[in-house]
Amino acid sequence: MTAQDEVPAARVNLLFNERAVRVPAGVTLFDAASWNGIAIDSTCGGHGTCKKCRIRIPADPPAPTSLDVRAYSAQELRDGWRLACRAIATKDSSVEVPPLTTRPKAATVGVGRQVILRPAVIKRYLELAEPTLGDQATDLERVLAALDDLELTADLAVLRALGRTLRESDYLITAVVVDDALIAVESGDTTGHCYGIAFDLGTTTVVATLLDLNTGTPVAVESMLNKQQPFGADVITRISATMLDSDALDKLTALAHQTLSELAADVCKQGDVDPAHVYEIAVAGNATMTHIALGIDPEPLGVAPFIMATRLYPPTLASDLGVQVHPRARAVVFPAFGAYVGGDITAGLLASGMDRDSRVRLFVDIGTNCEIVLGNRDWLLATAAPAGPAFEGAAIRCGMRAADGAIEVVTMTPDSVDLKVIGDAEPAGLCGSGLVDAVTALVKVGLLDSSGRFVPDEEAASRAPGIAERLSMIGQERVFMLTDSVYLTQRDIRELQFAKAAIATGWRILLEEAGLTEKDVQQVLLAGSFGSYLSPASAIRIGLVPKVPVLRVVSAGNVAGEGAKMALLSLRERAGGLALLEEVNYVELSDRADFNDRFIDQLAFPHHD
């Protein structure tokens, strides 16, 4: 057969929520959507493990797969509901995609410290003398002479526009300086417009805060889901994507840039600020998110011995991260301690003042990868524990992100179950804080034993007569019904046990390394969005954190974002963040021969008097 005789690959037409696309036959609907920028919820990257990629094919849907049967009720299957990662494009079809929550409930502020306002960005209004035959100083020399207290260099782009700007403004200009660089010369007096944006670049959620660098006050704050979500809920899944697909890194980098750029535009619009008046950004993220955002191959982070490209990043522009602000705006990228204790933790430690306090404090940033730091102003130990995605609502049968409809608080007595739902909406699922509360409550009323198993029906009826009937069976699995449609399975409880055991093993090893016990911990800081909404009492009861008086457990909030803000507002604090790299000793858990045995020891729920 000649090249002219070859039959072109068959293609099919799909209509995703009224958006028409054309794709090769045989691809999954998940891939077809992802290739065309259509967001479908997923936390496993389309590998068939999370069962979150819900779609509906109303007309002539394909036969359900075994995974579809496990994910949907019989009526839902008849109505055309399928998993996008298992539905194959074989013919022209219309596909309904549920709206993706892009702005989940997230901590946008956190525990911070007051700082002396001394940003790297300086704006000076200058009234310059016009040149004459007797004064033939160059344009740049004229500007630099008026800034003689600073030792500056000038970007080439500044020189390209300098002559025109000076003459059009009658030599009345504002010089914009960042560190030791003259990055802009603006017509007139623009000193009142000087801004920066602090980003907390999370694996799940990204938060942006617009700051007035003249006053140090926040102007606007926004958050949204990281647009990399379709590639998986955790860093390992996203690293795996780059290893399996040579184009994945470019795609992930572009999605990170889109997320940061959209948030920058949102906060500028909200604050009525011209993006051209944003001269510096700060980014605090874990090592994988930072590598990907900068286009650096993250593969070495995902395989032993887990090596970063660098701890300290070279001088970077905001445009290198896709952020459309002033074209020569600088970017401060927080350094990392290790592959799994990243710049977000550096920023969090800076904000919380771990290196300044005489008390022994435990810092725990709970997420798919849990970072743990123990210490005081004299010493600091850090480690990372593989908690998995349970706290994000992934791998949980009725799990969901912290958005409207998510059950976030659960309280129980032997006779009643009370729920608090985000947005006061109808319960649609269970987010991480609700999962911890529900399991804690079931242990407390006696429906779960210390091993994490549901007790037999007869025992349940005697211990909690008013709610024992909520214990039921779905298929072959025992469940506890929180509502008619939202329930907790035995497997969900196991997922939480695995997560809390990994974290508890981490902080116990740090205590042992320091020669301390739980009683020596004087404060526990729960960091991040999840930590902000987690009940301290629940965290103590299930053994997620040390058994300390409940008032010693503090929700620290978005300390990574606070640290990023501090770096924009104070050169002194920025230097303090760099100094932390030399003050923190990292403890690797993955090569410890005793880790698995200690992990197993922490699976059980502790007994409480």
SS (H, E, C) 514-573: HCCCHHHCCEEEEEHHHHHHCCHHHHHHCCCCCCCCHHHEEEEECHHHHHHHHHHHEHHH
Q: What is the rounded average pLDDT of the residues 1-20? A: 62
| Topology given in CATH for the domain delimited by 195-333 | Nucleotidyltransferase; domain 5 (3.30.420)
pLDDT for the residue 395: 79
Q: Give 185's strand partners.
A: 175
CATH of domain 3-95: 3.10.20.30
The model's pLDDT over 336-362, given as tens digits with 9 standing for 90+, comes to: 998 999 999 999 999 999 999 999 999
One fold for both 3-95 and 121-187? yes
pLDDT-based confidence at residue 573 (cuts at 50, 70, 90): very high
Cis omega before residue 305 (within 30°)? Answer: yes
The model's pLDDT over 238-286, given as tens digits with 9 standing for 90+, comes to: 999 999 999 999 999 999 999 999 999 999 999 999 999 999 999 999 9
For 111, residues 6+ apart whose C-beta sits below 8 A from its C-beta are 351, 352, 525, 554, 556, 557, 559, 562
Alpha carbon 40 to its chain centroid, in Å, reads 18
- CB count within 10 Å of CB 519 equals 10
Rounded Cα gap, residues 388 and 44, in angstroms:
11
| Topology given in CATH for the domain delimited by 352-389+496-601 | Nucleotidyltransferase; domain 5 (3.30.420)
Q: What is the rounded average pLDDT of the residues 210-232? A: 92
Alpha carbon 75 to its chain centroid, in Å, reads 36
* Consecutive H or E run containing 273: none
Pull the structure tokens for residue 186: 């603006």
Task: Mean pLDDT check: name the lowest of 33-47, 76-90, 484-498, 525-539.
Answer: 33-47
Please give the mean pLDDT across all residues of the chain: 90
8 Å CB contact between 238 and 45: yes
- SS3 label, residue 237: helix
Rounded Cα gap, residues 89 and 71, in angstroms:
20
Q: Is the four-CA dihedral 323, 324, 325, 329 of positive or negative sign?
A: positive
Q: How far is the CA of 120 from the CAs of 19, 195, 211, in angstroms?
A: 46, 11, 13
Tell whether the model's pLDDT for residue 9 goes beyond 50: no
Q: How many CA atoms lie within 13 A of 177 on its CB side?
A: 21
Pull the structure tokens for residue 523: 């404060």
Q: What is the rounded average pLDDT of the residues 153-180? A: 95
Tell me which range, 90-94, 132-136, 276-280, 575-579, is most confidently predicted by mean pLDDT: 276-280
Phi, psi of 83 (to 5 degrees): -90, 125
Tell whether the model's pLDDT for residue 105 goes beyond 50: no
Give the residue among 323, 317, 320, 354 at the shortest CA–CA distance from 337. 354
- SS3 label, residue 439: helix
Q: Give 471's strand partners.
A: 480
Domain residue ranges of the chain, discontinuous segments joined by +:
3-95, 121-187, 195-333, 352-389+496-601, 390-489
Tell whether the model's pLDDT for residue 609 goes beyond 60: no
pLDDT for the residue 52: 78
The model's pLDDT over 503-550, given as tens digits with 9 standing for 90+, comes to: 999 999 999 999 999 999 999 999 876 777 889 999 999 999 999 999
Cα-atom radius of gyration of the chain, to the nearest Å?
A: 27
Q: What is the rounded average pLDDT of the residues 475-481? A: 91
Per CATH, the architecture of 121-187 is what?
A: Roll (3.10)
